[in-house]
Chain A
Amino acid sequence: MASDAPQATGDFLPSEDGEPVNAVEAAKVVQSPPPEQPKSIWTRRSIIFSFWAIVVCFGLPLWIRTTTVYRADLPLRLMQQWADGLTCQFEVPLHVVVEAPGVSPTVAERLAQTLEEYYNEQNFFPIHRLRVTLSDLPQYDDSLQSPGSDRTSLAGASSNTVLTVRLKPSESESTALSRLDPYEAVLDVYYSPQHLETTRTAESHTRWPFSDTIVGEIQKVFAEEQATLAHLFINSGSPVKIDHLDEILYPQRKEKLARRATRSFKYAPVYHLTFSLFTPAATPSAWEIKAALDEYLEPLLRSFTTISNFTIDTQIQLFASFSPSIHGPLYNAESRLWTLQKTDLSGFINAAEWPLSPSIGEGPTINFILYVPGERGTPLVIAETGGTSWLIPQWGGVQILNLERDSGDRSMLTEADLKQVVFTFADQLTSLLGLPTSPASHALRISSLTRSHTISLILSASSTLGSLARLTQKLPQISIPDTVAESVDMTIHHLESACNGLKAGEFNRALEHARTAEAEAEKAFFEPSMVGQVYFPDEHKVAVYLPLLGPVAVPLIMAVIKEVRAWRAARRKGG
């Protein structure tokens, strides 16, 4: 019989229905918590899910956006093609105008035709192509002709004319066959009637020797330019093929060009000219340099306007002493001259004390120094040559002026004193600007310089594009701002215009485009914000992120793992 009251004997028999009968027993049985309601499971899972959703949908994109380096899209393949020289076929058409007023139109036409034919068929330098036209001016009167008349400025009727060939009847047999005008781009050719005879029986396949000689003269005019361009193409590694290389670039010419390249400044749209007067004594303390420059140097600078602009500054420094590193002038008793050793010339300019080469602005400064020795130190010459001037490559020129006056008049240098000085400076300036020396006409030299500058700027801008392309590929962690992409687009646009301008024969416009292309390419490459300081070794990255994200990540990850395990266990039990 079951009894309700506990037995006094202490028998711990469990009751029939499994319920614990006293406190000790109750402690032994582990009571499981009530099973979770589905609602709370779902709440927990959605909380974990929402945390992860914020991390993935909001946090991760934000982190990626704020830590990736912004790199604008650059047309790398096109840039590389420009750098390899595959996009621009260089062609320099030379427009020549023939003026033959005293000659019948058919003969003049034939002359123009044969000139073009004979020049282009020898194909000596394929980049130069001749295009000959006849000028359509009315016959001019010989009596009106004045030396260097101004007709050529209107004669070609276009600014693309490179050379004008003017035929004149020769007065006597002894005159030279041809003569280049020293200032303008005009080749005067003197003919006598028998030279034109061949065309009376004009068959298109008989060779005209007169035309051949003129072609030879034209070839001589452009010979140095061909050498300069060949030198440029070879030095830049351009794939342009140049035949007859040994004839165009024979050793002396090559050396001359190399010296010119070392000596002359790189092309810049603006040059700053500085004229300084240094003297170790108190006099001369004034000079009429402005008048002298306006009178004698201004025309030269004006002739360069299509290429570059110039600004002029002047200064005087009194009590200027030599640098202690040179020996200084030595008195030579026999010739009664003070002489400077050649080794002293490099240290002549006391760069520490003489105020030179400031940064006036963008563009290089060309310094011209006039040194007037003191009364006791006059006359001062260079020992070996006896000359008084020298040139410092890519820097400027120095000249010594020995005044032959007594102390009373020494305080001012007049324009007459400075005339010869300015002429020497002008000579040094043209050497420093790289003006070629060969065609004897100044205008031809300037136009030749325009063309060689255009081509060298195109080559330089293209190689900068190539460097930029290689750089962006080699340094993947450097940021590339939008301005660089814009500059690259502008560079390519201007390069194409420059190339087309060259082909069309509009050299001044081509130079402007080439100049802009070079400026934009340099701006793109030397972008100030592209400083490569963002290299972090991986240990740094771990060291920064771990303390920040570790404590946050651990609970999230552990929660997911636990949840997944529980879900799998529930599925196994249920399924």
Chain B
Amino acid sequence: MACNPRNTFPGAVFNSRERSVDLYDGVFGAGDGLGLEDVQRNGGIEVDYRGNEVTVETFIRLLTDRFPSSYPRSKRLVTDERSNILIYMTGHGGNEFLKFQDSEEIGAVDLADAFEQMHEKRRYNSILFLVDTCQAGTLLPSLRSPNIIAAGSSKKDQSSYSHHADQDIGIAVIDRWTYYNLEFLEREVTSTSSNKTIGQLFDSYDPLLVHSDTEVRYDLFEGGAQKARERRVLDFFGNVQAVEMGGDTEEEQQWREDLVGLKRLIERNMQAREDAALHPLLSEATITAAEAPLGLLKKFQVVSAKATSGWSKGVGGAMALVSLGVGWSMASYFEY
């Protein structure tokens, strides 16, 4: 979006027509590391997938981590059973689908299947799934994995609207539901230790202002609506790293001696190993040698199985080519 040729402010994306915060701009105080005398801007978001990379397939692969092993780690969702995940989707959508890139759509069933796979592989502890599209609530009934809190900006047969437009850019810059979500976060969640809950967030929506009814699904969450509404907003929206203070100096002293002693031990072990390599009683070396041919044998079996199937495929292909060639030459013969 920022580099779209129609963008009047190239490289910048704003969330309101005041243009006070450029979401892509990360300007930090320079200083000499002692303090922050400069203005704090709140931009500097990191974008991992942009433009043509954003497709339904990529999204589902991202959720289920089905990438080839050469795919960089920074573009994967590296989570485990202790991670809380926030998924916020906004754009155009309809009855049980959401539009991607003007050319494809993701269905509610595919989304539910992706979450189910994540649950099977224990890739999350809990998920907060927020959708801001028309008829967003229709995406919610197909979900079936546990520990998901889901909210959509409008019910079935209801549209969601945009909030306001920027006359210079020429399009709407933010949607209504997103605008009121952002307002809650900016006004109420003021520090990294805030205790505002999901229930308070959902209660802050005023249907008269948002112009649509939010549909929420709590039943998948462990403990039902009550426990879900008690979860902190920062559990999903914030990312505060836990820290363990270092050990005391006594342990470090112990370590110094340990490491020095270890070094001597290792050297001696290496020496002993070299001596023992000439010793016939040492069984370790012979064990590994005996293992090796078995491993190779196994590998050969696998390789040869594949090779034969390739050969038959080649024969089939050659026969197809030959028959086509014969057909073509016969046809050209009959033509004359």
Contacts and interface: CB of A to CB of B under 8 A. Distances in A.
B243 A182 contact: no
A526 B76 CA distance: 13
B110 A183 contact: no
Contacts of B259: 296-297, 299-300, 423, 426
A262 interface: yes
Interface string A298-322: 1110110000000000000000111
A310 to B, nearest CB: 14
Contacts of B266: 299, 302-303
A157 B242 CA distance: 46
Contacts of A95: none
Looking at B30, B245, B271, the one whose CB has the most chain A CB atoms below 10 A away is: B245
Nearest to B261: A183
A427 B113 contact: no
A255 interface: no
Interface in B9-55: 26, 28-36, 38, 40, 44, 46
| Interface size class, chain B | 35 or more
Contacts of B264: 148
B246 A322 contact: no
Contacts of A525: 121
Interface in A142-164: 148, 150, 153-154, 157-159
Contact of A352 (B28, B36, B69, B302): B28
A442 B66 contact: no
A350 B241 CA distance: 12
Contacts of B80: 266
B245 A387 contact: yes
Contacts of A373: 33
Interface stretch (A2-10, A216-224, A531-539, A557-565): A531-539
Contacts of B69: 362
B244 interface: yes
Given A385-B245, A390-B244, A392-B243, A467 B33 contact: no
Looking at B44, B80, B265, B279, the one whose CB has the most chain A CB atoms below 10 A away is: B265
A382 interface: yes
Interface residues of A, number: 86
Interface string A384-411: 0101111111010101000000000000
A374 interface: yes
Interface in B79-122: 80, 82, 107, 109-110, 113-114, 116-117, 120-121
Interface string B177-201: 0000000000000001100000000
B168 interface: no
B332 to A, nearest CB: 26
A296 B261 CA distance: 10
A563 B149 CA distance: 62
A328 interface: yes
B323 interface: no
Contacts of B261: 148, 182-183
A471 B121 CA distance: 10
A555 interface: no
B252 A299 contact: no
A18 to B, nearest CB: 54
Interface string B244-278: 11111001100110110111111011011100100
A531 B242 contact: no
Contacts of B31: 321-322
Which 6 interchain pairs have the tightest Cβ spacing? Answer: A280-B33, A359-B73, A389-B246, A299-B263, A467-B120, A299-B262
Given A347-B241, A526-B66, A535-B113, 20 more contacts: A153-B272, A153-B276, A159-B284, A266-B80, A297-B259, A299-B259, A328-B36, A346-B192, A353-B28, A376-B34, A387-B245, A390-B245, A423-B252, A442-B262, A471-B116, A471-B117, A526-B121, A532-B64, A533-B60, A535-B110
21 contacts: A148-B265, A148-B268, A153-B276, A159-B284, A184-B265, A262-B242, A321-B28, A324-B36, A324-B40, A338-B34, A346-B243, A352-B46, A359-B73, A423-B255, A424-B255, A442-B262, A464-B121, A530-B66, A531-B66, A532-B117, A533-B110
Interface of B: 26, 28-36, 38, 40, 44, 46, 56-57, 60-61, 64-69, 72-74, 80, 82, 107, 109-110, 113-114, 116-117, 120-121, 192-193, 240-248, 251-252, 255-256, 258-259, 261-266, 268-269, 271-273, 276, 279, 281-284, 302
Interface of A: 148, 150, 153-154, 157-159, 182-184, 262-263, 266, 280-281, 295-300, 302-303, 320-325, 328-329, 338, 342-343, 345-347, 349-350, 352-353, 357-359, 362, 373-374, 376-377, 382, 385, 387-393, 395, 397, 399, 420, 423-424, 426-428, 442, 464, 467, 470-471, 474-475, 486, 525-533, 535, 537
